Structure 1
């Protein structure tokens, strides 16, 4: 066998240049880049060193032979020609990996089978013994790549992929592979910073991959020093003496590195479930003296290294798979940028993100960007020098300043305080806080929110309304609804029309979300963002999350529970406020029936208004439990029936009589717990006839729905007294959207 070999080193896409530099430093000669690989020439000692020390490669392939391929038979013969007795015992095991196509071989499984057949046939010529196939831990792993009619037949020296260092047995939801994490650290300049004694902090460390890779680089530890099984371990061409020499050198370097004073390397993670897995991974890597991990939120992140030295802040924030997710993550990136500006002055930062648009929202400029791939996902590494000249900030009014301006505009200023000379005392200016500068569009959106808040806020305070709609796609380019629930903001983004460029829609959404806390003077953590698309059936009722966080709000003298996070809707339809208050005024002494009751907010109002009894019907146990909590919250329970069932079937069996009935059905429902399908346009006549049969003489039924194309059947007016009251059931916060629902007052004739 030759003393010099052609080697292929494979790697994740985008790491070729870094791997070329690393491999050249380790001794690879005549190195050249290929897609997701590099190639070059080296002796066996260098090949071993590449296996042991490459932080970036996936595999080290030693080329055994190149030959032309015209068809499957020539492939077989080309593999058969090699002297396989130099590489594998006939009683051993092998695995074959095949890539590429052409020359009549378009199926990789077929190609691998032909290669395997050739190797087996060659080896059993000696004494009839044939090797077995073991795809998990073979004695020899053979790789053949077919490229434009040429076969490149190689031996995999690495065995399992080199990114599998062996320390990370516990993983988070979407961890970076170890070699990609190492590449990010190298691009971020960590080897230089570590050599200077700098610190490293990861404010979103997950299970600690960046931390471990950084510590191994700083301590000069070969990434695969503890690996026991290699692709060359049972290879007959293996030279144990050379391997022991290379391994012993690496062991000595590791011992020397670990004898140095540890660098300050710290990780912080908000999810308490990941803290112990991260610590376990760190201990398995042998870096427990170098790395500490703590639970902590990004919003409170503040590195505190010894002796006030600077260093590198590195992180891989979540990306978000859907547009709505990305919007929800905007504040996370803003918080990260804020903490960098306030707590990391003079540090360097590296943010690895699959959502570069979010990276731009941190309020701090990157001086370099590098393209990477995380699997199939294109990513960017943003390198940042945390210096004032890199900040993208501007002065913004504080909530106190906005309130003072509002009072001045409305002429509601309190009588001025006077000094001892009888002159008015000028109030001290509120401190100016720096916030990320809004884009032109974001500022325009903020101005609209403030204008609406000035108008609707005055109405809401006067009427004692705590929850109301502030904005409802007033500007078509910012297509969303913004609702206030006390000091919380609930945002529903409407899906953009297909005619709108998705990237522009996403950018506008980010602009708007960035503007909301500044415009309204609210905490970023009290803004909840969801995406609302055209709904069919009861999709709006389906669970979106499972945080289980309920908050208490008030309306018309009653207390109600809302949940802003777990469902698309919150448990309180704001547009039905006037109908609920009307029911409260008319309920005294009456038997009240609430069909499709949802969380029974109208029932609570009826009970508050003095209803003799209430009955509420819904198919969902979840919402009936919510309804029970709403009633109990207000001290109502004994005379309020909650019935689980299909409304149509329930009405067909009920024989009760009610003076006040409220029906607000879904547009469409096909729940598994009901027979058939409910369609409000098709079925409303039958629904109303069944309900009117339960209406007492002199009673009133209120019917409402939000199907935009709904038309009330004209025949109903021939049997009942029907009056459309839609305009009367809209408060000022929904005056801009009169089609939010339609409502009718229906009673018996005569």
Structure 2
């Protein structure tokens, strides 16, 4: 069979384990890479990795490495690949892109160039071409840019292989399945299981460790339960070969389930997560073979017949709030006391993001492995449970440990004092202005890089991503300190605080939902009722910094025709209609936001026949010749900084494109009308030649309210009129 090159990705820190696993599955090692391994093998071996790898995230079939020194060379290199071998002319595909360079400065642009090259290569003379489908593609094209070279491949795995199919619910802070498998391998579970040893997780949560332990012990392929793989609609797919491998996996599973007799148990004091664990075990086909029970750590009593030998492996809580961190030493000490009393001769593994508390276990760790739990730097601590390893347990109380803790508490007290001060100033100002939603804190202290917004009796916290110069653990501690302080100072329950990390978006991330709670509620702004949602999206549906802009529109709109371009959730349109606009048109490309805007209008009793909201590509709409009756007296345009949505015909780069957009919008503005143009790109500069064509007034200072004066570059705003 033909040999192929594959790049197999994995969690950071697992590369050497993955290398050994891939060799055992028949791959030939080429080289290691950060968070991945380059290997070579035939297609059967590639399929086998997709089905049997317990550690991999993705399996990428390598196609080519092309020169990406310029945008044109990147395009030509991707165009030169024979895409007809992989995708039908009328097929569907998506592109994932990582990396940047002096030429490719953002991943959206990289995605666009790769997409264009694939489409142009497959486009036929009669106009047939493949389409981009981010939700249900036939193939996923992987493009990775590094040092002027672009590595191009096909993702055979599809979605990440850590998604085995048994875990559709989650407990608190769940381990990913392949990270759980890596912990089991590092702790020596495969050898212990082969020797007939048993397994216990005394803080099992939703059961990931116990399920992965059972799948290893019983020779169950981790990909058996997955509903689909990325290669199944790839043109090079060999269904008969894949079917033989599936049948082999089923035979091995039947043999393993019938012959393996190891005991695998999990305990947790939370009945809710134990119920989730039971359902996960059932979906994994391990009902009756893996036992979990609701039991606190201090109630740890086992059947003596089951405690001959084995492995205890657990992932205790990390302590996200100061109040929880103070209890961790006692939890780790209790764990040590339990295993020493009941499981002498066993091995103990503790995976933790706070390894400084490992000493409280009272055993000397003989091995430590540095890994990451998501973005959290963590360690796997291994212990022999015997008298030779015993040491006096203690909380971290030497002077070198006490000083940082005192400093942390002092720093948290400073944050609390700043929030109290802001409540006395900004909070009182907002109350006097009858403003229900406002920014209370905006990275006032460099140690706490958050934006804290009040929405009635709820709080929305956005954590700005820490720069690389800031230690990740220190940033995590700051967040934990803030989340302990905020509810106490504001006098609200922790359940009323929503926290998100606001990172630079890339690829399709900017369009993805954060959750699906459907928890909308109403707020009031200058007499307008508006729906917001703090949990499901990166933004809430209401840009607080534009409050003065919306108020100005409301005050000016009486008797005018209003146009809202890139309308988002239509809040400016609501203000215009409430202010007396005779009719309005609001356009946005997102079906979600168009529906949200219509709901906002309906909430205020605004007639839909006079105030229309339509789903449209604003770039395409503006480029069309305006009709004689399509003139507006007041236009609001607040475009995104960058957009490459699949629904758009072209890429939007606001710095590059704003002059054209403004000229096109002015073609639809009446002779005495006003275009309100705004954007939040911090380095934005308005084209100088616009002032030669129109009357341009920078009104930014007048559109920054009291709560945003600490961050005057939150947006820029201009009023643009036709010359007198």
- 1:621-636 alignment, distance < 5 Å: none
How does 1:238-637 map onto structure 2 within 5 Å?
A: 238-304=237-303, 306=305, 308-393=307-392, 436=393, 441=398, 539=489
Query: How far apart are 1:261 and its partner, in Å?
Result: 4.0
With 222-231 and 177-186 compared, the bigger mean Cα shift is at 222-231
Counterparts of 2:234 and 2:486, CA distance in 1: 62
Q: Deviations over 1:261-286 (max 9, x none)?
A: 43211110101111211100000000
CA contact (8 A) 2:345 2:384 kept: yes
Report the counterpart of residue 157 of structure 1 in structure 2: 156
SS of the counterpart of 1:151?
strand
**Structure 1 segment 96-111 matched on structure 2, within 5 A:** 96-102=95-101, 104-111=103-110
The answer to whether structure 1 residue 9 and structure 2 residue 8 are counterparts is yes
**2:190 matched to which residue of 1?**
191
CA displacement at 1:544 relative to structure 2: 6.4
Equivalent residue of 1:89, what SS? coil
- Per-residue deviation, residues 303-356 of structure 1 (Å, max 9, x unmatched): 436354211111000101244432222211111111111111111111000000
Three-state SS of the structure 1 residue aligned to 2:233 is: coil
- Structure-2 change in CA distance of 1:9 and 1:305 (3 Å): farther
Question: SS at 2:38's partner residue?
Answer: strand
Structure 2 CA distance for aligned equivalents of residues 110 and 533 of structure 1: 37
**Structure 1 residues 190 and 536, CA, compared in 2 at 3 Å: closer, same or farther?**
closer
Q: Secondary structure at the match of 1:31?
A: strand
CA distance in 2, matches of 1:230, 1:194: 30
TM-aligned CA deviation for residue 300 of structure 1: 1.8
Which residue does the alignment assign to 1:599?
none
CA contact (8 A) 1:24 1:31 kept: no
Change (3 A) 1:389 1:93: same
* SS of alignment partner, residue 232 of structure 1: helix
C-alpha distance in 2 between matches for 1:533 and 1:49: 45
Q: Report the counterpart of residue 453 of structure 2 in structure 1.
A: none
Alignment TM-score, normalising by the size of structure 1? 0.54
Work out the CA distance in 1 between the residues paired with 2:484 and 2:7. Answer: 52
Q: Which residue of 1 aligns with 2:626?
A: none
The higher radius of gyration belongs to 1
Q: In structure 1, what is the Cα distance between the partners aligned to 2:192 and 2:484?
A: 52
Q: CA deviation at 1:534?
A: 13
1:210 is matched with 209
- Could you say which residue in structure 2 is the equivalent of 1:128? 127
Contact 1:98 1:112 in 2 (8 A): yes
Deviation string, structure 1 residues 657-676 (Cα, Å, up to 9, x no partner): xxxxxxxxxxxxxxxxxxxx
In 1: Cα distance, 2:481 partner to 2:137 partner: 50
- Distance in structure 2 (CA, Å) of the matches to 1:439 and 1:135: 49
Q: Distance in 2 between matches of 1:5 and 1:150?
A: 20
1:627-672 Cα offsets, whole Å, 9 max, x none, are: xxxxxxxxxxxxxxxxxxxxxxxxxxxxxxxxxxxxxxxxxxxxxx
1: distance between equivalents of 2:403 and 2:6?
Answer: 58
Distance 1:477 1:186 in 2: 34
Q: CA deviation at 1:541?
A: 5.8
Counterparts of 2:120 and 2:492, CA distance in 1: 60
Is the CA contact 1:20–1:31 (under 8 Å) kept in the aligned structure 2? Answer: no
Task: Report if aligned partners of 2:412, 2:482 keep a CA contact under 8 Å in 1.
Answer: no
Tell me, yes or no, if structure 1 residue 51 matches structure 2 residue 1.
no
| Structure 1 Cα separation of the partners of residues 39 and 23 of structure 2 | 9
Give the match for residue 148 of structure 1: 147
**Offset from partner CA, 1:591-617 (integer Å, 9 cap, x none):** xxxxxxxxxxxxxxxxxxxxxxxxxxx
The answer to whether the Cα contact below 8 Å between 1:494 and 1:531 also exists between their aligned partners in 2 is no
1:675 alignment partner in structure 2 = none
**Contact 1:392–1:437 at 8 Å: present in 2 too?**
no
> What is the distance in 1 between the residues matched to 2:125 and 2:250?
41
User: Contact conserved, 1:303 with 1:344, CA < 8 A, in 2?
Assistant: no
Which 5+ residue runs of structure 2 have no aligned equivalent? 415-479, 497-724
| 1-structure distance, mates of 2:234, 2:490 | 61
The structural deviation recorded for 1:289 is 2.1
8 A contact 2:297–2:334 mirrored in 1: yes
Distance in 2 (CA, whole Å) between partners of 1:537 and 1:247 is 52
Cα contact 2:163–2:226 (8 A) shared by 1: no
Alpha carbons of structure 1 residues 80 and 542: separation in structure 2 relative to 1, 3 Å: closer
Deviation at residue 213 of structure 1 after TM alignment: 0.4
Q: CA deviation at 1:194?
A: 0.6
Q: Aligned partners of 1:537, 1:378: CA distance in 2, in Å?
A: 27
How much has 1:145 moved relative to structure 2? 0.8
Aligned counterparts of 1:120 and 1:335: Cα–Cα separation in 2: 61
Query: How far apart are 1:441 and its partner, in Å?
Result: 4.6
Equivalenced residue count is 431
In structure 2, do the counterparts of structure 1 residues 31 and 221 end up closer, same or farther at CA, with 3 Å as the change threshold? farther
Q: What runs of 5+ residues in structure 1 fail to find an aligned partner?
A: 394-435, 446-474, 481-491, 499-529, 547-750
Cα distance change on mapping 1:496 and 1:196 into 2, 3 Å: same
Could you state the TM-score of these two structures normalised by the residue count of structure 2? 0.56
Report the alpha carbon displacement of residue 27 of structure 1 after superposing the two structures with TM. Answer: 1.1
- Deviation per CA, 1:666-704, whole angstroms, max 9, x where unpaired? xxxxxxxxxxxxxxxxxxxxxxxxxxxxxxxxxxxxxxx
Match of 1:27 in 2: 26
Equivalent pair of 1:262/1:289 in contact (CA under 8 Å): no
Q: 2:253, 2:126 → 1: CA distance? A: 46
Cα drift, residue 533 of structure 1:
12
Q: Distance in 1 between matches of 2:313 and 2:335?
A: 11
The CA RMSD measured in Å over matched residues stands at 3.0
CA distance in 1 between partners of 2:485 and 2:350 (Å) = 37
CA contact (8 A) 2:369 2:380 kept: yes
Q: Kindly indicate whether the alpha-carbon contact (under 8 Å) linking 1:139 and 1:235 is maintained by their aligned counterparts in 2.
A: yes
CA distance in 1, matches of 2:31, 2:357: 35
Structure 2: how far apart are the matches of 1:151 and 1:95?
17
